[in-house]
Chain A
Amino acid sequence: MRRRMMRRLLRVCAVCLKEFLGCFQVYVTHKFRAAIGKTKLVRDGEKVLVGISGGPSSCALLHLIQEGLSQRAHKKLRFKPGLIFIDEGQVVGQSLEEHKVTLTRIHSLLRQSGFPYHLCQLADSLDLERVKTLNACQSNHSAVNKINQSAMDINTCSNPVEGDKGDVEISGQDENCCDLIEMNREAEKLFAAQLGSIRSISGKEDFVRALRHRLLLEFARQHGYSKVMLGNTGSQLAVRLLTDISTGRGMQAALETAFADRRNTDMMFLRPLRDFSSKEIAMYNNLHRLECVFIPSLTTMGDVGASIEHLTEAFVTGLQAEYPSTVSNIMRTGEKLDSSSAVDLESHCALCQGPLDTDVGMSSALAALRFSLEISTMGKTNGERCIKGDNSVNNTNDELCSNGVNYDAKVECCGKSDGSCRSSTQLSVPDEGLVLQTLCYGCRIVAMEMDDVNSLPEFVMKDVAWRNRRSVMKAEIQDFLLDDR
């Protein structure tokens, strides 16, 4: 309704430009406040970590927050924002020069905001986890916590100015940026190796997204933030939703596009710009002459088919141009989907933190895929053999998962169906099945694209080990459990 009214306003105001801009400003501000206000999720004085990539939508988000917190604002916002920038220059292989320029500009953007801010690198997500067990209990790990704390300190130190209005000059801060890179060389190398081993760009994108989420989560936890705010627009989220569906992440789709993402019980991710289109944001930025920092992505200047996300974006944008309700239809679908998430830690994906969607019956896409892999690696000798293979599918889950490993083995089929290749794969990487079990369907695809599943980030491996111990323990105490069905 509101939107339609706005349309009319836009049309009227096209005649007198000035008024139009005024209307637009009111419209955007109102919509932003309403998004935050009506959900009543952000409490007064709450510390909220705001993810700033430097791109158009996060620039607009930052500006809207600044406006909302300023004294002159009507119905002032009352939370305490802290900004975080995650440097992903390495992901896209920016040259040192370009990287420096980006960091400098981001830094001045953050510094001018007047809010506390942090700069960190995506590779930090690997480093952080090295000193931290994923176990939720904190009390009896004081030593770990200490190291952990120091690691965090290093990260915050790298911020040239903790706080605001610092008068460190840009040149000095430049050096600091480079220091930061210096400091995390090891994690960076590790990260480069992991990223490099993922074969497809779609897989890389998923991996990067998972790490980003993890880093934001961990950072917010460590620094006493209770919410994370992200600047995703409706247009982006519609693309996200469809991409999720196309990459087997249907179960997460609702979470990833909801206003409040509650996949982690202790942290809420908010998306106050989800009712805006990218176009509105671009107009807003243009209106306020906001200087965004251009952040290239893995698919910048790439073909339409560079990655699934890139393709989906082109698809949705193209469709939107012809059918203007496309984005809102997609978002409407998302709103009707269940976005509540499991409470149990063990039912989350170890990589992306989304709900585990792999506990499915024998009549499912996953089972069909497993069977397909099995039968096409086994080949045909005689009918009995195959029926036997069929039965084995029925038996254990662990075995099935390790069968998935054969995914990349280009088996020259025919006649060799003695099962030899399968057993050898199982021997060489005994943990693969276990690792894959902790991942959701979408992340399994990513993991299987890697050369070695065991080279997944430390935090995933820790989680795998923890879950394994838990299941062993559970098995041991099985007899003593009273109400275990």
Chain B
Amino acid sequence: MPLPICIEFGGGAELLFGKVKTHEVNLPDKEASWTIKDLLTWMKDNMLKERPELFIQGETVRPGILVLVNDADWELMGELAYNIQENDRIVFISTLHGG
């Protein structure tokens, strides 16, 4: 079963994703459940258009990019380990000056 979620970008992070702010995506079927960590890897391979280092650093997002899962700070949801649910809205907002 593919997993439909909504990924949004703001604060200039959208520049790295073809300048599109909202992406409705279906995460491909996977045995284990999807975590944010998996999602980041998937995004890097499938969505990131350019300069991956401006979005991902190591395994996690670059400092200064705020991640919200259904409007809640991902730090409260377990960060990389959070298990993504169907129709989750995951927002990446750059808080850095000029994106």
**What is the interface of chain A, defined by CB distance below 8 A to chain B?**
10-11, 14, 17, 20-21, 56, 235-236, 239, 277-279, 281-283, 285-287, 292, 294-301, 309-310, 313-314, 317-318, 320-321
- Asked whether B4 is an interface residue with its Cβ less than 8 Å from the other chain, the reply is no
Q: Which residues of B contact A313 (CB under 8 A)?
A: 64, 96-97
| Candidates A17, A282, A296, A309; contact of B70 at CB < 8 Å | A17
B86 to chain A, nearest CB (A): 17
Whether A20 touches B72, Cβ cut-off 8 Å, given contacts A296-B98, A301-B99, is yes
A204 smallest CB distance to B (angstroms): 13
The reply to whether the CB of B31 lies closer than 8 angstroms to some CB of chain A is no
The interface residues of chain A lying within 8 Å CB-to-CB of B66 are 279, 282-283
Contact assessment for A300 and B73 in the assembled complex, using a CB-CB cutoff below 8 Å:
no
A295 to B99, CA, bound (A): 8
**Contact status B71-A282, CB under 8 Å:** no
What are 12 A-B residue pairs whose CB atoms fall within 8 Å in the complex?
A10-B76, A14-B72, A17-B71, A236-B97, A282-B10, A286-B91, A294-B14, A296-B98, A299-B97, A301-B54, A313-B97, A314-B96
Minimum C-beta distance from B98 to chain A (A): 3
Q: Which of B63, B70, B91, B98 contacts A299 (CB 8 A)?
A: B98
Whether B81 is near chain A, meaning CB under 8 Å from some CB there, is: no
Q: Which of A10, A279, A287, A294 contacts B95 (CB 8 A)?
A: A279
Partner of A292, one of B10, B76, B96: B10
Interface residues on B, range: 20 to 34
Alpha-carbon distance A297/B97, docked complex (angstroms): 7
Establish whether residues A292 and B97, one from each chain, have CB atoms under 8 Å apart when the complex forms.
no
B18 to chain A, nearest CB (A): 13
Q: State the CA gap A286–B72 with chains docked (Å).
A: 10
**Which residues of B have CB within 8 Å of A314?**
63-64, 96
Whether B99 pairs with A14 at a CB distance below 8 angstroms is no
* CB-based contact A300/B68 at 8 Å: no
B93 contacts chain A at the CB level, 8 A cutoff: yes
In the complex, chain B residues whose CB is within 8 Å of the CB of A282: 10-11, 66, 93, 95
Q: Does B30 contact A (CB under 8 A)?
A: no
Residue B15 CB within 8 A of the other chain: yes
Looking across the interface, which residue of chain B has its beta carbon closest to that of A56? B11
Bound CA–CA A367/B50 (angstroms) = 46
Q: Is the CB of B73 within 8 A of A297?
A: no
Cα–Cα distance between A235 and B94 once the two chains are bound (Å): 13
Partner of A300, one of B50, B76, B99: B99
Residue from A287, A294, A300 in contact with B71 in the complex, judged by beta carbons closer than 8 Å = A287
A300 to B96: give the CA distance in the assembly, Å.
10
CA distance A282 to B72 in the complex (A): 12
Determine whether the beta carbon of A14 is less than 8 Å from that of B96. no
List of B residues within 8 angstroms of A317 by Cβ: 63-64, 96
- Residue in B11, B51, B77 whose beta carbon sits within 8 Å of that of A301 in the complex: B51
Q: Which of chain B's residues have a CB closer than 8 A to the CB of A296?
A: 12, 98-99
- Assess whether B98 is in contact with A295, with CB atoms less than 8 Å apart: yes
Separation of A283 and B11 alpha carbons in the complex (Å): 12
Interface residues of B in 4-54 (CB under 8 A from A): 10-12, 14-16, 50-51, 54
Inter-chain contact B73/A10, CB cutoff 8 Å: yes
Give the distance in Å from the alpha carbon of A309 to the alpha carbon of B96 in the complex: 11
The docked-state distance in angstroms from the alpha carbon of A282 to that of B65 is: 10
A11–B76 Cα distance when bound, in Å, is: 7
Residues of B within 8 A of A321 (CB): 63
CB pair A294–B12 under 8 Å, yes or no, is yes
